[in-house]
Amino acid sequence: MSLVDPASDTFAEPAPPGPAPHFLTTAVLRGPGRTLWLTALAMALGFVLCTLLAIMRLPAAPRLCPAWLAAGAR
């Protein structure tokens, strides 16, 4: 393929596509919504897992809790 235009005998350079048409594609417009959805999902999953972990760490007898012993409670 030649870049020479035979009619005018000058170089015919194709116009580079600008970034503007790509900003309105479906994938770009869907991105922020998907990001917010994944963020909310990760927060909910983290909240549930951390709550379960905190419940599992509760001692069976409250007086054996290190905070109870460190406070000098009777």
68 alpha-carbon distance from chain centroid:
40
Percent of the chain residues topping a pLDDT of 90 = 27
pLDDT in tens, 48-62: 999 888 877 776 766
CA angle 49, 55, 59 (to 5 degrees): 145
Q: What is the pTM of this model?
A: 0.51
